[in-house]
Structure 1
Amino acid sequence: MQVTRQEPVRTSLKPSNHPYMSGPWTPLHEEVDVDELQVIEGEVPRDLDGIYLRNTENPVHQPLGRHHPFDGDAMIHQVSFRDGKVSYRNRFVRTHCFTAEQNAGRALWGGLMDPPGTSERPGFGAHGSLKDTASTDIVVHACVALATLYQCGEAWQLDPATLDNLGKAPWGPLDGVSAHPKVDEATGELMFFNYSKHAPYMHYGVVDRSGRLAHYVPIPLPGPRLPHDMAITPKWSILNDMPLFWDADLLERDVHAARIHDGIPTRFALIPRHGQPEDIRWFEAAPTYVLHWTNAYEDGDQVVLEGYFQDKPMPDPIEEAGEYSHMMAYVDEHSFQSRLHRWRFDLSTGECIEERLSDRIVEFGMINPAFAMKRHRYTWSTTSKPGWFLFNGYVRHDSETGDEQLFRLPEGVYASESPVIPKKDGAKEDDAWIVTFLIDENKGTSQCAVLDAGDIAAGPVCRLALPHKISSGVHATWVEHEQLEKDRAFRLEALAAA
């Protein structure tokens, strides 16, 4: 395995025993290219022909105050599959904040857990004092990879094939772009939202296939909220207003402390894809908080939405974690108790019907993308290590039978969010592959692994050695080489026509 290393970044970080700056969350600072990864088990499926991208958290400088796992600088890891061979590279996302701290040689912004006044410079997005790390999500649209921050940042562009940094998205609005924009591969459109501390508190937009902001409208809310994800169908975009949001009295003192507001229901805003505020259909549901949706589709006069209902959005502290007791609870699925759930919005009656799909605690789910915005049968979710934000396996849930198939990693080995990739000759919904990164704390190594989505219990069909141990992180995506080629051809035609 021949490794080409890039010029080192400047770092002031000191060794730490912080639970989210050590072990599987130990920051990685080197950037490398590897033309071909070594296969250490099995055989790479030859019909895998695309790029897997994962966003990870890698703090570069010593924190000004307390550290939260979501404070880290964005590092994108990429593996590219073609003709049974796999290459690898990784790069930091060069946001304005990353560049400013590189120039200064130290941290300039405080973190999510820090009090007002910690940051030395004005912050970005909904929180107002955080740096724009772009370290939450990663999607590919119009042959550009977009890295985004959950607190609404500027949306940072990279070339998905080379990971060259391409600057901030030119279409990004003043209030930024939240993590979890959605791409409709059929139309080439990207739907996104943002949120802020000033009226109307939320906006919704559509970026067309050429990368132009084609639609942008307000979504009026009663006050500042903390939405995290959205969903789409061919006709509708689904936004939310949930009862977990900042305490208004503390917010007046610039203290960002989220709590559940008793007596307030969950509300869903269904807006036609290119609709106006007066076109919104509002639905009320049981109070909860939802981090991630898995799919949405239309079913006659109903719109169906699936995701992870939290039974305890304000979890009890994990006392044995000491000074980290609250932080550990709020990133632990077993503390906030997230379970697969279904909401049905009846457009004729205005009623919302809810249904629990599984009692198992899971999150970070994926479906076969060929069934996006359609009725689907299977959802592949991650399981997690109790008390931690670490994925230790997968569950395939069958919504027709309720059956679940489980794959659990060995103790000390942790996975990534994992896209489901249809097999080229697949006839069934679960004729697909799952691609993931593994962090093996027992050996101090990392790997890329492929599982058969139809038989996850069998474990990886192949594993490839990565050149270094990566840090854990949040979201991932997959894009086919064929899709990238189509998007590039479209953009060239559009430029020629212009």
Structure 2
Amino acid sequence: MKVEKLPPVVSSLQPSNHPYLNGAWTPLHEEVNATDLEVIEGTIPTDIDGIYLRNTENQLHQPLGRHHPFDGDGMIHQISFANGTATYRNRFIRTRCFEAEQIAGGSLWGGLMDGNAVSKRPGFGAHGGLKDSASTDVIVHAGKAIATFYQCGEGYILDPETLDQSGVASWVPLDGVSAHPKVDEETGELLFFNYSKSAPYMHYGVVDATGKLTHYTPVPLPGPRLPHDMIFSKNWSILNDLPVFWDQELIETRGLHAVRLHEGIPARFALIPRHGSADQIRWFEAAPTYVLHFLNAYEEGDEVIVDGYFQENPTPKPQPDAGAHGHLMSYLDGHALSTKLHRWRFNLADGTTHEERLDDRTVEFGMINQKYAGKKYRYAYSTVAKPGWFLFEGFVKHDLETGEAIEIKLEPGRYASEAPFAPRIGAVDEDDGYLVSFIIDENRGTSECILIDAKRFADGPVCRIALPHKMSSGTHAHWVDRTSLRKARADEIARLQTAG
């Protein structure tokens, strides 16, 4: 393996016994380029051509208050596959906040657990006072990677191949963009929402295939809410107003942003036409819950069908053996939240909602073949969480047509990343391709990349590739085919030539 190390960044972080600053969550502060990667096991397939991007949280500076893993500085890890070979590189996301703290040599903002109470400067996010670390999701739209923040941030642009950075996306509005904008590969459009503590409390927008904001409309809500994700079908974008949000009285009287379940309030889903306005929204009520992530949506007859992860216990009690970290640990534990694969059916003809559980096991962070986004689909790939932790220790392939589910577990001490689906070159079937994931191996103090053939899912990894350092864990990942990148660049060149 050939490794080129980049100049070091400034860090003031001190050793700590915090559970999310150690082990698989030990921050990585090193940036490298690596080629000639060692294949530990198997052979890199020649029928995969594209890029896997993974966003992680890596705290650089001593926290001003209580640390939450989502506060960490965003770092994109990339592995690029072509012709049976792979290269790797990683970069911190140079947000405005990252650059300011590099100059200051220490933290300037508090995190999710303290925010305004300790921040030294005005901040970002729906409740203000936070550092926009762009450390939550990463997607690719119009040939550009976009890194986003847990609440509502600015959205930072990177070249998916080189990880060169070009600052804030030009189309992001004043209230920012939520953690999970969605890309419709069929139309090339990017769909997003944001939210705030000021009326109308939510907006919804559409960015076209050229990167231009073409639609932006209010979605009025009764008050401040905490939506995290959205989904879309062919004709509808589906937003949500869920009964888990800040206690308004505590915000007004004490400036505290305390999340609680508001008893007696149903979950509500807003179906808005792709380019529709507030007066065209169709609202549907459902059983109270919180949904961190949706999987897919599609239309069938009079129904819009939405799949996602229903939290049976969205506000769990603190872990009793975690001391001062008990509250933090429980809210990051998929088993405490009891997240289940769930289906909502919204009937446009009579306005009713029908719900069903698709699997009783605890799963989350699901991925699909993105060519089926917004369409009827058959296969889903979910992660299995380690009890008590925000760590993934396995995967489940769901066949939503037959109800069959195949689960594979990693060796104890090995933890996975969210695993997007990478279609095989020339694929015809929906599951003809690979799951791609980075692995943190706590037993050996290393990291690697694995590929799992989705058609032979139970066989486990077909290939294991060594990485140059042990990474920190994080949240989301993305796959982009190289053909998609080539087309986006050709389209951009054509537009420039026409404009010129």
Measured in 1, the distance between the counterparts of 2:40 and 2:54 equals 21
Measured in 2, the distance between the counterparts of 1:361 and 1:135 equals 25
Query: Is residue 2:377 matched to residue 1:376?
Result: yes
Give 1:112-127 correspondences, 5 Å limit.
Answer: 112-114=112-114, 116-127=116-127
> SS at the partner of 2:187?
coil
Query: Is residue 2:75 matched to residue 1:75?
Result: yes
Measured in 2, the distance between the counterparts of 1:241 and 1:40 equals 47
Measured in 1, the distance between the counterparts of 2:310 and 2:452 equals 27
Query: Is residue 2:22 matched to residue 1:22?
Result: yes
Q: CA, structure 1 residues 280+249, in 2 after alignment: closer, same or farther (shift >3 Å)?
A: same
Q: Is the 8 A contact 2:55 2:474 kept in 1?
A: yes
Measured in 1, the distance between the counterparts of 2:315 and 2:251 equals 18
Query: Is residue 2:421 matched to residue 1:420?
Result: yes
Give 5+ residue unaligned stretches, structure 1: none
| Displacement of 1:36 | 2.8
Q: Is the 8 A contact 1:239 1:269 kept in 2?
A: yes
Q: Is the 8 A contact 2:109 2:115 kept in 1?
A: no
Give 1:329-368 correspondences, 5 Å limit.
Answer: 329-368=330-369
Q: Is the 8 A contact 1:116 1:255 kept in 2?
A: no
* Stretch of structure 1 that moved more, 299-308 or 455-464: 455-464
| Displacement of 1:162 | 0.4
Measured in 1, the distance between the counterparts of 2:34 and 2:297 equals 38
| Displacement of 1:425 | 3.9
Letter in 1 for 2:377: H
Q: Is the 8 A contact 2:368 2:381 kept in 1?
A: yes
1:230-267 per-residue CA deviation (whole Å, 9 max, x = no partner) reads: 00112110000000000001111321111000010000
| Displacement of 1:115 | 6.0
| Displacement of 1:401 | 2.2
Give 1:80-159 correspondences, 5 Å limit.
Answer: 80-114=80-114, 116-159=116-159
Which residue pairs with 1:497 in the alignment? 498
Q: Is the 8 A contact 1:115 1:255 kept in 2?
A: no
Measured in 2, the distance between the counterparts of 1:246 and 1:178 equals 17
> SS at the partner of 1:325?
helix
Which residue pairs with 1:183 in the alignment? 183
Give 1:409-448 correspondences, 5 Å limit.
Answer: 409-448=410-449
> SS at the partner of 2:451?
strand
> SS at the partner of 2:63?
coil
Measured in 1, the distance between the counterparts of 2:105 and 2:150 equals 25
1:155-204 per-residue CA deviation (whole Å, 9 max, x = no partner) reads: 00001000011100111100000111010111111000000000000000
Query: Is residue 2:319 matched to residue 1:321?
Result: no
1:289-330 per-residue CA deviation (whole Å, 9 max, x = no partner) reads: 000011000111111000000000011211111111110000
Measured in 2, the distance between the counterparts of 1:75 and 1:16 equals 21
| Displacement of 1:24 | 0.3
Measured in 2, the distance between the counterparts of 1:149 and 1:425 equals 35
Give 5+ residue unaligned stretches, structure 2: none
Letter in 2 for 1:9: V
1:443-480 per-residue CA deviation (whole Å, 9 max, x = no partner) reads: 00000110111222211100010000000000000101
1:77-100 per-residue CA deviation (whole Å, 9 max, x = no partner) reads: 000000000000000000000000
Measured in 1, the distance between the counterparts of 2:455 and 2:246 equals 42
Letter in 1 for 2:152: C
Letter in 2 for 1:151: Q
| Displacement of 1:25 | 0.2
Which residue pairs with 1:471 in the alignment? 472
Normalising by structure 1, what TM-score?
A: 0.99
Q: Is the 8 A contact 2:171 2:213 kept in 1?
A: yes
